[in-house]
Structure 1
Amino acid sequence: MSRLESMRRRLSAQIDGINWAASLIRDTDGDVLEMGLGNGRTYDHLRQEIPNRRIWVIDRVLKPHPSCVPPAENFLQGEADDMLRHLASQGCKMALAHYDFGHGIKDLDVAEGGALSPLIAAVMAPGGLVLSQQPLIGLEQITGPDTIDPERYLFYRAP
């Protein structure tokens, strides 16, 4: 599979996963967390699909498309571990989190996801959903939509 085909598969998984998760959290409490803003595509889709929730965003830099800049009060710039600790200290609880950090080096990405997992779990509302392209630990892995290859995108429920 070419890198272009892999990217198409990732984008389709993100769209289907966000749509699926948005339908499951409609009647629950909690905010939404986007970990890794990048160009802002998934953030923009979250805004569209979950318009009445506060969406927190964590990233090291703010470089999205101009139409995808989050409100300043919702953007946490810095290292993910520090920003997740900050959210936890504020008592923030997430109904949905999307984990989209990555360096593009599998071993490094898996290690980072594992290290951040307890911090992610600490900000999740009970039963909250986490969508991730990297494996996470300490959360219950669940089956996502059947349109997504289970090896391509991962789905978790917080205890």
Structure 2
Amino acid sequence: MSRLDSMLRRFTAQRDGLNWAAGLVEGLQGDGLDMGLGNGRTYDHMRETMADRRIWVMDRVLQCHPSCVPPEQDFLQGEAEDGLARLADIGARIVIAHYDFGFGVKEKDVEEAARFSPLIAKVMAPGGMLISGQPLVGFEAVQGPEHIAPDRYYFYKT
């Protein structure tokens, strides 16, 4: 599979998975969280499709498209450990989260996701959904939309 085809497959899985998970948490009270702002595409999609929720965003640096800059009070700039600790300290209740941190080296990305998993668990509300490009640990894995290959995106319930 070409890198372009792989990217398209990932973006489609990401979008469809977010939409699917948003439907599952529709009746729950709480916020959204985008871990890894990057260009801002996922955040933009989350704020459009979950307009009734506050969407927290974290990344080391703010370098997204100008149309995707989150409100200053919702952007947790810096290391993920610090941002997740801040959310836990203020008692944030996250019902839907997207995990997209990574270096682009699979082994390092999987290791980092495992290390962050307990920190993410502290901010997730019971019954919440996690959508991730990397495997996470300590969460209940669930089958996502049938058309998404199990190794393409990961889905978890808290």
Q: TM-score range by the shorter chain?
A: over 0.9
Distance in 2 separating the partners of 1:30 and 1:150: 27
Match of 1:106 in 2: 106
Q: Secondary structure at the match of 1:148?
A: coil
Q: Which runs of 5+ in 1 are unaligned?
A: none
Runs of 4+ with deviation above 6 angstroms = none
Secondary structure at 2:111 match in 1: helix
Q: Which amino acid in structure 2 is aligned with residue 13 of structure 1?
A: A
Which runs of no fewer than 5 residues in structure 2 stay unpaired?
none
- Aligned-partner Cα distance in 2 for 1:8–1:79: 28
Q: How many residues align?
A: 158
Q: Which string of whole-angstrom CA distances, capped at 9 and with x for unpartnered residues, describes residues 75-96 of structure 1? A: 0000001110110011001000
RMSD in angstroms over aligned alpha carbons? 0.6
2:140 & 2:32 partners in 1: Cα distance?
18
Aligned to 2:117: 117
User: How far apart are 1:98 and its partner, in Å?
Assistant: 0.2
Identical aligned residues as a percent? 60
Provide TM-score, normalisation by structure 2: 0.99
Letter in 2 for 1:107: E
SS in 1 for 2:156: strand
Spell out, residue by residue over 1:23-53, the C-alpha distance to the aligned partner (whole angstroms, 9 max, x if none). Answer: 1111111100000000000101101110010
Q: For 1:126 and 1:26, how far apart are their aligned partners in 2?
A: 13
Shift of 1:64: 0.6
Aligned letter for 1:44? D
**1:94 equivalenced with 2:85 (yes/no):** no
Deviation string 1:49-73 (CA, Å, 9 cap, x unpaired) is 1001000001000011111000000
Asked whether the 8 Å contact 2:25–2:127 carries over to 1, the reply is no
* CA displacement at 1:101 relative to structure 2: 0.6
